[in-house]
Amino acid sequence: MEKIHRDIESALSCVKNGHTLMVGGFGLVGAPLTLIDGLTKKDIEGLTIISNNLGEKGKGLGTLLSQKKIKKAIGSYFTSNREVGDSYQRGEIELELLPQGTLSESMRAGGAGIGGYYTKTGVGTELAKNKEEKEINGIKYIFEPAIRADVALIRAWKADTLGNLVYYKTARNFNPLMATAADVVIAEVDEIVEPGQLSPEEIVTPHLFVDILIKARKTLTKEGVVDVK
């Protein structure tokens, strides 16, 4: 199966109205900026986005928010983009807040085929509202369901043509977890090499999780988001 797509529109053809998308990144670091830019040009609406945050104003997922393509966001840190709060106050978007550890574990559970798990995080707070509570060995826990998505958009450093992925330092963040917890995984990478050119010791995401590969056309530098030459 040929996984490499040359055209962004072709790579994103599986994304439909109303889909739930996992999108990698911590801030803009490790975010699939090329794929996000492709979504801004796609006639689509009603998306649910699972991501740590919704980019920044006019950058990353913030561009999709400005276009009103996002119906709901599930994440941990929305205050880096003031437009998220403004959109929420206007009733234009629904937000579900999860602590970062809970977000990560919920995705891991989704990828592992686990229905959910009990955690102490959030007990006795607004985050526990309407969630099942259980006492185990005298300690209160709340139940968190696993999270999965229709499509995961992730960012890696290198890939081979089979789809094995290597990440670059902290840009790894949520990307490997998301690669396990979606029906279709699209990976944006800086470089694609032949099989055997990646050390097995450095491969984090095995090729069986990756459906589509595309070369990055945008990247994050000290100067901001720039086009790849």
Q: What is the pLDDT of residues 7-49, one digit of tens each?
A: 999 999 999 999 999 999 998 999 999 999 999 999 999 999 9
**CA-CA distance, 40 to 135, in Å (whole number)?**
46
Is residue 2 in a domain?
no
Predicted pLDDT at 139: 97
Tally of structural domains, the chain: 1
Neighbouring CB atoms inside 10 A of 79's CB total 8
Q: Which residue segment(s) compose the domain that 24 sits in?
A: 8-117+146-227
Mean pLDDT, residues 198-206 taken together: 97
pLDDT of residue 116: 98
pLDDT, position 1? 63
> Which structure tokens are listed for 209?
């999780």
Residue 127 lies in a domain: no
Specify if 91 maps to a domain: yes
Average pLDDT over residues 130-154: 97
CATH number of the domain that residue 63 is part of:
3.40.1080.10
Percent of the residues in the chain that have a pLDDT greater than 70, as a whole number: 99
Stretch 172-195: mean pLDDT = 97
Rounded to the nearest integer, the mean pLDDT of the chain is 95
SS3 annotation, 87-113: HHHCCCCEEEECCHHHHHHHHHHHHHC
In a domain, 221, yes or no: yes
Please determine, for residue 223, whether its predicted confidence score (pLDDT) is greater than 80: no
Which residues have CB under 8 Å from 175's CB, separation 6+?
24, 25, 30, 154, 155, 156, 167, 205
The torsion region of residue 16 among left (phi > 0), alpha (psi -120 to 50) and beta comes to beta
Look at residue 220 in the predicted model and tell me its pLDDT.
81
133 in a domain, yes or no? no
Residue type, position 203, single letter? I
Q: Which of 195, 188, 183 is nearest to 216 (CA)?
A: 188
| 56 domain-assigned | yes
215 lies in some domain:
yes
Q: Is 170 left (phi over 0), alpha (psi -120 to 50) or beta?
A: alpha
- Residue 130: inside a domain: no
Q: Which strand (E) or helix (H) includes residue 25? A: none
